[in-house]
Amino acid sequence: MLVRGIHYEGWRPSRKLPRKVRGREEFLTPIGEAFRDHPDVSPEGVLWAVFKVMERHVTPGEIKDVKQILPESIRALCP
């Protein structure tokens, strides 16, 4: 849910449906836009950090489930 929350920050279900994101760049672009004022922060680094925080608060089985629903190109970015 944390990854979904970051990816869909500001998403309002009543206004629009979520996009089907299938590719690496399509997934990382909104993260990059959210951090555009911080050129030293990479979208890949943000995603990695989110998963590291999740590892502290979510069971290994739940993290595995999250990773399994991601497309392979995105899953490869996760620690």
Would residue 13 count as lying in a domain?
no
Mean pLDDT of 60-69: 88
pLDDT per position as a tens digit, 7-62: 666 656 566 656 677 788 888 998 999 999 999 999 999 988 988 898 888 899 99
pLDDT of residue 51: 86
Model confidence, pTM: 0.65
Domain that holds residue 65: 2-7+22-75
Would residue 41 count as lying in a domain?
yes
Q: Using CB atoms within 10 Å of the CB of residue 74, give its burial: 0 to 12 exposed, 13 to 18 middle, 19+ buried.
A: buried
Number of domains into which the chain is organized? 1
Exposure pattern of 37-46 as b/e (b: 16+ CB <10 Å)? eeeeeebeeb
**What tokens were used for 37?**
């004022």
Would residue 12 count as lying in a domain?
no
Would residue 17 count as lying in a domain?
no
Would residue 15 count as lying in a domain?
no
Backbone angles phi, psi at 15, to 5 degrees: -95, -40
Mean pLDDT of 55-72: 88
Would residue 59 count as lying in a domain?
yes
pLDDT of residue 5: 62
